[in-house]
Structures are given as C-alpha cells and as structure tokens.
Amino acid sequence: MAASTLTPAGLTTGEASFIEEAKQRGRLFIHQPCELYSRSNHETWRRLYSRLTPRWHRYANEAFLHGIDSLCLSPNEVPRLDDVNRFLCPLTGFKARPVSGYVPAFLFFDCLRQRQFPTTITLRCADKLDYLPEPDIFHDIAGHVPMHTDPAFANALVRFGECAHTAASLVESIADERERILALKSIIRAMARFFWFTVEFGLMQSPQGIRVYGSGLLSSFGEIQHAVESNSVQRYPLQLEWAINQSFEIDHYQPLLFVVESFEHLYDMVNELELWMKEGRLNNVAPGDPAVNEQDLQSFLAASPK
C-alpha cells in the first residue's frame, strides 16, 4: 500500500468526506472521528492557538482566561470533545455536541436551553487563518466554549434558549397566517441580532477597561485587537432597542459594538428581550440583515404548540 494512502484525509472545512456523507444521510448530530484529523489540521490548530494566546491575555475578559485554563486545551492539536466535556460539564453542566453543519435556529437555541452547544468538528484551511465565514472547531471550542465554564454566562445562554420556546408559543396565537409568518420572521431577526451583538461580538467593562467576551472576536487574531483599540469602532452600552433594530454584515470588521457591565447584566437583558417579545415589541423590528432563511423559519413553526 502506498504511504500516501495511510495519511488521514483530514477534516478540513469544505473538504471533509465524512461530513458530506453525514449530510447526505440527514445526520445532524454526529460523533467526532478524531482519527481523521490530519497533520495539517493539527498544525493549523497549533498556529491559530499560538497566534491568539498573547491577544487573549491582553484583550479577553477574565472569565474567558479562567475558562481556557479550566478546559486544559492543548495548544498543539485539535481537542477531543470528550476531553473538553470532561472538564466543562462539572463546572456549568454545559457540553459540546458535535454536528455535521448548520443547525436551524430553533434547534440551536433549544440546545442552549438544554446546556448543549452544537459544535463544528471541521477546521479551516491553513491559508485561511484570519477569516472564515462559517464556524469551525477553533471558533467553537477556542472562541465559545471557554465562556461556557462561567456560571453567570452559562445561565444567560440557557435563558436565551428559553426565549425560543416563548417565541414559538406566542406566534401560534396569531390567527392570520401571513401575520404569523411576518411576526415570526421579525422575532427571529431580533433574536439573531441580539445574539450577534452579545454572544458573538460582545464587549464588557472591567477594572482593566474594555474587554472581549464575544466568540467572534475571541477567535479572530485581527478583530480582537481592532474591537478594543481602533478609533473607527463605535462602542456603546448595550441598549436593547438599538441592538434588535441594528443590521450587521459578516464579511468585514464590525464598526459598531455594544458593551455590557457584567454577565448578570447580560442575563437581565435577555429577560428584557423575552418581556418585549411577550408584549409584541419584537413583531416589527427594522428590516435588513440578517435574512431569515426557510430552515430557521420552519424550525420555529414546527416547534409551535398545536
């Protein structure tokens, strides 16, 4: 047998036959075939981790830094999710759950409610270290999951997941089908924007000044510094009415970011989001990005009480 056939094909984003086969079979929740990671995959992880580590210590919030230490992530190879969960679960009950690709919105939020985090297992190409439009395992495990070790942040995620159930129940009471769809699309858009400006791209106050807690910033070598130091970034205290009506684009550094005082503050804001939802104040938010795709819409409709 030729030596090249002994080398794992790898689990590179967009190039993993294991993932394509799972999608073809309709399998969303999968196992992590760690034996398929190639030397190139492990080297890409090592390069990403080594580049970000100094910036984490300079710009990341304290809970994230404690989380990185608590998870005992290897700086040299792609982590096994079983090992990650062995350290994570005793702290907050959260666990990383491997998926084959995009998780429809309601199902994603429901996973959060159950303290499960849908986790991508593929890793970006070595020539795309700085930017990848879709999540990969570095974004999910090195960006999101360290935050899940903090009880206050974890509780805010669970509350956010509960909001999805509230939304599904509320729209069921709208008799007119067209109005129901329009209201649901607006609510999903509002939730997506809130999630984007907090969990993905959030900043927080600290005794040391502004620090990063959003995973999109924590997993980006360039944007984590840009978010804190650049004069071109507008930074404002988190205001619900602004965040849910503010569109965003994913293909460039974010020009507008919101700041929370603490994770207890974030939890309170999620409670307020749900209250506004119940009052109908999310039924007609400003149009624009993100677009609500059919998968997300149908996932909420399917979850509505019958």
> pLDDT at position 5, please?
42
Cα separation values, 119 from 64, 142, 243, Å: 18, 11, 26
Domains and CATH numbers, the chain: 10-303 (1.10.800.10)
Residue 26's region, left for phi above 0, alpha for psi from -120 to 50, else beta, is: left
- Closest by alpha carbon to 217, among 140, 143, 153, 121? 143
Pairwise CA distance, residues 83 & 192, whole Å: 30
> pLDDT at position 3, please?
40
- Least confidently predicted of 5-19, 137-151, 264-278: 5-19
* pLDDT class of 306 with cuts at 50, 70, 90: low
* pLDDT class of 127 with cuts at 50, 70, 90: confident
Q: Which residues pair with 235 in a beta bridge?
A: 257
Please provide the size of the chain in residues.
306
Model confidence pLDDT, tens digit, residues 171-229: 988 999 999 999 999 999 999 999 999 999 999 999 999 999 999 999 999 999 999 99
Q: Is the pLDDT of residue 139 over 50?
A: yes
> pLDDT at position 130, please?
78
* pLDDT class of 6 with cuts at 50, 70, 90: very low
